[in-house]
Amino acid sequence: MEKVVNGISVNWEVAKRKGKDKFLASNKHLNAEEQLSEMFDKVVPPKKPEKPSSGEKKK
Amino acid sequence: MDINRVDCAVGGANTGFGDCVLTLGGIKKAILVSPDFVFDPSVYATPELAIAALVSASQADLPSDRIYPLSEIVGITNNSEGVVTQTLGNGTPVVVRDGMANWLLQYTDGGNCVSNALRRFNRRRLAILFIDDNGVLFGTKVGQTIKGIPLAQFYALPFGVNDFANIANFSFQVIFNPSYINEDLGFIQLPLGSLMQLTGLENINLVLSGARAVNVVNVQAVTGCSKLNLYDEYSAELVVASNWKASMNGKAVAIDTVALNAASKAFTVTLDADDPNYVVGAPIVLTLAAPSVLEGNGVVGFEGVPLNIA
Q: B216, exposed or middle or buried, with CB in 10 Å at 0-12, 13-18, 19+?
A: buried
Exposed/middle/buried for residue B176 (C-beta within 10 Å: 0-12, 13-18, 19+): buried
How far apart CA B298 and CA B257 sit, in angstroms, is: 19
Which among B166, B174, B189 is positioned nearest to B128, based on CA atoms? Answer: B174
The DSSP 8-state label assigned to residue A57 in this structure reads: P
Residue of A4, A18, A33 for testing the chain B interface, max B β-carbons within 10 Å: A4
pLDDT of amino acid B196: 97
pLDDT of residue B224: 87
> If you average pLDDT over residues A50-57, what whole number do you get?
60
Q: Is B274:B255 a contact under the CB 8 Å cutoff?
A: no
Q: What is the pLDDT of residue B79?
A: 97
Q: So what's the pLDDT on residue B132?
A: 96
Among B259, B275, B297, select the one facing A30 at the smallest CB separation: B259
pLDDT < 70: residue spans in chain B: none
- Those residues whose C-beta lies under 8 Å from the C-beta of residue B119, and which sit 6 or more positions away, are B156, B158
- Is the torsion defined by CA of A15, A21, A26, A28 positive or negative? positive
Interface test with A, best of B257, B264, B277 (most A CBs within 10 A): B257
Instruction: Report pLDDT for A27.
Output: 94
pLDDT at position A59? 44
Q: What pLDDT band is residue A54 in, cutting at 50, 70 and 90?
A: low
Whether the predicted interface score ipTM is above 0.85: no
d(CA B257, CA B270): 5
Q: pLDDT per residue over A4-41, tens digit each?
A: 888 999 999 999 999 999 999 999 999 999 999 999 99
Which chain A residues contact residue B269 at CB under 8 A?
A: none
- Chain B residues 235-274 within an 8 A CB cutoff of chain A: 235-237, 239-242, 254-260, 262, 268, 270, 272-274
Nearest CA among B272, B277, B264 for reference residue B229:
B264
Relative to beta strand B153-156, strand B149-150 is unpaired
Kindly report, residue by residue over B110-159, the tens digit of the pLDDT: 999 999 999 999 989 999 999 999 999 999 999 999 999 999 999 999 99
